[in-house]
């Protein structure tokens, strides 16, 4: 039994035909997928994560709930994914990189208070039955906004398409700026990891990461990165909060420095990588801004060939970029 089998069984147990078309879609869809997968018998207990390269599985799952149709993409063998970032080695080790980021986070340049919002620019592998479309990568703005009474919205807007090297290319529908998803939540329908602002302490952040990943006491750096991605998908955190979250990553085993690079928006970053304990065929990379120290990106890369996705080892399966409000404003 492997992680791909677990997810396939989890999705087969979800009957979208029984879901009302106007039912609220929790942002915790990924956590729900893990809960389904955990109920399957297994030889040994371990945390389970969505196995298609994280966010890609969530996109398919959410589309299944919304549309009532579960379409498993079958991309051609020649399908491409965005090229990995070009990292340059640096002399600092992981603890030094995080210490430097934490120092930058204390300069007061970040938000003065946490905000119940997450604006991100992302790309998630979805495949295409048309081989000609396999080299065009349609990015999306995802704007999550919610309130203390647990009402809110998740608005998804088409962004510019790029080619494998990240260059903007013309593409067909939907055109950039088109709203392709608009989920609304009334009072008490939104289900965040933390309904109240997380305390800027390592203990508080570790508790949230554990809740998100279900990793138990054996939290790895890869697990901590998945937890950070989940939390940043719901909150815009202050510098002290991000510093505490980075300390959770630093204290977990399995962390390595990838090097320095420019992210997919051209911003200077330093990459930290680790393998989640429940998904050993993929590696997570956390991108830290070289200017502010903030977590500004997350990427997933296959470590082995994936026959379900028909993608080779080294393929990027998703990426998410944060601190992009200025870029979003410029695109409108």
What is the per-residue pLDDT across 179-227, written as a single tens digit (0 to 9) for each? 999 999 999 999 999 999 999 999 999 999 999 988 777 899 999 999 9
Q: What is the pLDDT of residue 117?
A: 97
* 182: CB partners within 8 A, 6+ apart: 153, 154, 155, 156
Of 299, 289, 291, give the one whose Cα is nearest residue 319.
299
* Averaged pLDDT of the chain: 79
- Residue 138: C-alpha distances to residues 84, 100, 126, 167 (Å): 16, 34, 10, 12
Share of the chain above pLDDT 90, in %: 57
- Overall average pLDDT of the 120-149 stretch: 80
To which H or E segment does residue 99 belong?
A: helix 94-104
**Least confident segment among 21-25, 82-86, 278-282:** 21-25
Is the pLDDT reported for residue 42 higher than 50?
no
Give first-to-last CA distance, the chain, whole Å: 47
pLDDT at 127: 55
| pTM of the predicted model as reported, rounded to 2 decimal places | 0.78
Written as six digits, the tokens of 160 are 């510019």
> What residue spans define the domains of the chain?
3-67, 94-331
Radius of gyration of the chain (CA): 19
Residue 157 is given by DSSP the state: E
Mean pLDDT score, 297-315: 92
Give percent above pLDDT 70 in the chain: 72
pLDDT number for residue 311: 87
CB burial of residue 89 (10 Å; 0-12, 13-18, 19+) = exposed
Name the DSSP letter for residue 86.
-
């Amino acid at each position: 039994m492997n992680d791909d089998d677990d997810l396939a069984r989890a999705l087969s147990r979800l009957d979208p035909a029984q879901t009302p078309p106007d039912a609220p879609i929790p942002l915790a869809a990924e956590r729900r997928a893990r809960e389904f997968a955990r109920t399957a018998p297994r030889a040994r207990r371990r945390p389970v994560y969505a196995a298609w390269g994280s966010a890609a599985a969530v996109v398919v799952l959410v589309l299944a709930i919304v549309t009532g149709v579960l379409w498993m993409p079958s991309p051609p063998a020649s399908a491409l994914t965005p090229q990995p970032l070009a990292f340059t080695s640096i002399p600092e080790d992981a603890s030094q990189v995080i210490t430097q980021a934490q120092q930058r986070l204390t300069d007061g340049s970040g938000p003065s208070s946490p905000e119940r919002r997450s604006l991100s620019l992302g790309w998630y592998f979805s495949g295409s039955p048309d081989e000609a479309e396999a080299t065009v990568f349609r990015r999306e703005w995802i704007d999550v906004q919610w309130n203390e009474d647990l009402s809110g919205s998740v608005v998804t807007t088409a962004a510019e398409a790029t080619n494998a090297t990240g260059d903007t290319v013309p593409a067909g529908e939907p055109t950039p700026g088109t709203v392709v998803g608009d989920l609304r939540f009334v009072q008490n329908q939104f289900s965040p990891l933390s309904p109240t602002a997380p305390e800027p302490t390592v203990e508080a952040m570790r508790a949230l990461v554990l809740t998100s990943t279900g990793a138990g006491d054996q939290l790895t750096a890869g697990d901590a990165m998945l937890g950070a991605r989940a939390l940043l998908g719901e909150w815009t955190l202050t510098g002290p909060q991000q510093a505490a979250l980075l300390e959770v990553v630093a204290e977990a085993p399995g962390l390595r420095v990838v090097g320095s690079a420019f992210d997919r928006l051209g911003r200077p970053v330093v990459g930290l990588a680790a393998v989640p304990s429940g998904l050993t065929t993929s590696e997570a990379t956390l991108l830290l801004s070289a200017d502010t120290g903030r977590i500004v990106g997350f990427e997933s890369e296959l470590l082995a060939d994936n026959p379900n996705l028909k993608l080779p080892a080294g393929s990027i399966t998703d990426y998410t970029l944060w601190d992009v409000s200025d870029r979003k404003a410029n695109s409108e």
